[in-house]
Amino acid sequence: MPKKSSKNAIKKSSGKMGKLFGAANLFLGVIPDTVEIVGKITDKAAPIVDKHLERQHSYKKSLVAIPNLMDVEASQAKQHLEKLGLQVILLLAKPHKKYVKANAGEVVAMMPRSGKVPPGTLVKVYYVDDWVIAESKKEMALPDVTGLPLLQARQVLEELGYLVTTFPVKPRSQYANRTVDQVISMSPNPHLPLNAVKKGAVVKLVYLDAATKEASGILQKAEEEKKAANSQRFKDGLQKIQTILPIKKN
């Protein structure tokens, strides 16, 4: 005959198993309902998703591609963009050295310049006129005339509208083999990342004249003689050391 404690253990175990089977039955009973609910939600959401995708497709289809109208006459560019359904405003560009070779009335910049935009988007079209081109020429980069003959360098700069002053360079040995009247340096330096030198600015040219070349030759000769003397002293000293030190025999 089983003991009382064994009976209680069996009852507890049976109770737990019953609860587990009950929960399982409840879960299995809920699944069909849940599937049905999810299905209904999906059926209702499908038209919304389709409408969103359709709206997105229509929006992309309505976008206008901005054509590249650089170098086109400004009024023609405006007319073409307005036919595409865009709003256009014409603006005069600020003078810049890159507009020196542009033609009066043509487009030199756009904002936005490319891509697709919604109809009615404002497009800024920048163009140049005679005044902008004339002012742009004043912003030209300073040419490098170092190494040129002085007269040629002066002519190049004066034709561009610069005022030229000239000064002879100070004698240096490295100028002994240079050509007389050659431009050695200039100021402002054309290679420094400064603002463009405007028309009418003063440009200083430093050149080699005959007197400086002669003086530079004298300096070069003196330096060569000094170098030779130092070399001879070194050789003499080395010979003295060799006479003082004992000669090793093999």
The tokens describing 23, both together, are 């929960």
Model pLDDT, residue 236? 76
Give me the chain's average pLDDT, please: 80
Where is pLDDT greater, at 171 or 21?
171
Tell me: pLDDT of 185 over 60: yes
Looking at residue 126, its pLDDT comes to 96
User: What is the pLDDT, as a whole number, of residue 230?
Assistant: 86
The answer to whether the CB of 160 falls within 8 A of the CB of 200 is no
Higher pLDDT residue, 79 or 216?
Answer: 79
Residue 48 CB neighbour total at 10 angstroms = 9
What pLDDT was estimated at residue 1?
A: 47
Written as one letter, the residue type at 218 is I
User: Where do we find the tokens 């007269």?
Assistant: 151
Both tokens of 37, joined, read 């609910």
Compute φ and ψ for 233, nearest 5 degrees.
-60, -40
Q: How confident is the model at residue 238 (pLDDT cuts 50, 70, 90)?
A: confident
Q: What pLDDT score was predicted for residue 203?
A: 93
pLDDT at 153: 95
Q: Which residue has the higher pLDDT, 185 or 239?
A: 185
Q: Residues of the chain with pLDDT > 70: what percent?
A: 73
* Per-residue model confidence (pLDDT) at position 195: 54
User: 207 or 56: whose pLDDT is higher?
Assistant: 207
| Segment 101-117 mean pLDDT | 91
Question: Model confidence over 24-79: pLDDT tens digits?
Answer: 555 445 555 555 555 555 565 566 666 666 667 677 788 989 999 999 999 999 99
Count CB neighbours of 234 within 10 A.
10
**Percentage of residues of the chain with pLDDT beyond 90:** 37
190, 141 contact by CB (below 8 A): yes
Q: Residue 106 has what pLDDT?
A: 95
What is the average pLDDT across 91-113?
90
Supply the pLDDT for residue 169. 92
- Give the Cα separation of 198 and 135 in Å (integer): 9
Q: Using one digit for the tens of pLDDT, what is the confidence trace for 111-123?
A: 998 888 999 999 9
Domains defined for the chain, CATH in brackets = 65-137 (3.30.10.20), 150-222 (3.30.10.20)
